């Protein structure tokens, strides 16, 4: 079965998934952001088969997220160093960490983000750099960008703002009534 490529889609999420959408790639980037650079270190940390690790590292190099640099000539050995594009993936990993801790760690967080000075747990949120306000469903929505084609413009033109009521159908509301005491 042939895999569908998202690389030429107009959606930035689809294009991003083309580069990092395979779980090994995300875990390799996680380890690289923690300072792992060498093949054997990645393999030991992840428990991944060498052929799979080679494919994923090559794909991350091709996508411009890692740079392959020689560190030994005899025998030839390489390290994999994050590029600026790879370092820009850090907020995505932080968001996944927070989401995973919130929804999939009933025993509590096994890894958490902490303030480097105080050691206290941090609670990451997504913030608009221009206004400094948190990005919320109530206050923000997706809209077509300058490079959007007609299909994307049409998709987002019919996408109402979250929380708005565009339907003329009345919605049923459940009302709690106070029971009369006997």
Three-state SS at 13: helix
Asked if residue 40 is part of any domain, the answer here is: yes
Please tell me the pTM assigned to this model. Answer: 0.77
Q: What is the pLDDT of residues 101-145, one digit of tens each?
A: 999 988 988 999 999 999 999 999 999 999 999 999 999 998 888
pLDDT given at position 167: 42
Tokens standing for residue 72: 């030994």
Same domain (yes/no): 96, 72: no
59 and 21 in one domain?
yes
Whether residues 42 and 68 fall in one domain: yes
Tell whether 102 is covered by a domain: yes
Q: Quote the number of domains for the chain.
A: 2
Q: Are residues 21 and 51 in the same domain?
A: yes
Better-predicted residue by pLDDT, 66 or 171:
66
Same-domain status, 79 and 117: no
- Within a 10 A sphere around the Cβ of 28, how many other Cβ atoms? 26
CB environment 46-65: b (16+ within 10 A), e (fewer): bebeeeebeebbebbbebeb
Q: Are residues 125 and 61 in the same domain?
A: no
Same domain, 29 and 75: yes
Domain span holding position 125: 89-141
Please indicate, yes or no, whether residues 80 and 63 belong to a single structural domain of this protein. Answer: yes
State in Å, rounded, how far the first CA of the chain is from the last one: 69
Helix axes of 50-62 and 12-20: crossing angle, nearest 10 degrees: 140
Three-class secondary structure of residue 27 per DSSP: helix
Tell whether 16 and 70 lie within a shared domain: yes
Averaged over 13-17, what is the pLDDT? 76
- Give the residue-averaged pLDDT of 169-180: 41
* Beta partners for residue 66, in sequence order: 82
CATH code (residue 20)? 1.10.10.10
Q: What mean pLDDT value characterizes the chain?
A: 84
Residue 180 in any domain: the answer is: no
Residue 41 in domain? yes
Same domain, 93 and 73: no
Residue at 25 is within a domain:
yes
Cα(33)–Cα(154) distance, integer angstroms: 38
More confidently predicted of 172 and 69: 69
Could you tell me if residue 108 is inside a domain? yes
Residue 116 lies in a domain: yes
Query: Which is more confidently placed, 92 or 177?
Result: 92
The two three-digit tokens of residue 148, written as one number: 């959007």
Same domain, 18 and 83: yes
Do both 36 and 74 map to the same domain?
yes
Residue 55 in domain: yes
């Amino acid at each position: 079965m042939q895999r569908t490529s998202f690389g030429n889609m107009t959606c930035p999420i689809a294009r991003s998934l083309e580069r990092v959408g395979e779980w090994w790639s995300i875990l390799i980037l996680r380890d690289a952001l923690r300072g792992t650079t060498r093949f054997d270190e990645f393999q030991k940390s992840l428990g991944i088969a060498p052929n799979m690790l080679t494919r994923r590292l090559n794909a991350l190099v091709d996508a411009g997220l890692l740079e392959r640099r020689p560190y030994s000539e005899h025998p030839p050995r390489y390290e994999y160093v994050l590029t600026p594009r790879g370092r820009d993936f850090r907020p995505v990993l932080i968001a996944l960490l927070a989401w995973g801790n919130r929804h999939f760690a009933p025993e509590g967080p096994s890894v958490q983000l902490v303030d480097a000075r105080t050691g206290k747990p941090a609670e990451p949120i997504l913030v608009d750099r221009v206004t400094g306000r948190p990005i919320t469903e109530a206050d923000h929505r997706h809209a077509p960008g300058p490079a959007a084609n007609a299909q994307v413009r049409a998709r987002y033109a019919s996408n109402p703002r979250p929380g708005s009521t565009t339907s003329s159908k009345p919605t049923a509301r459940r009302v709690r009534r106070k029971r009369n005491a006997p």
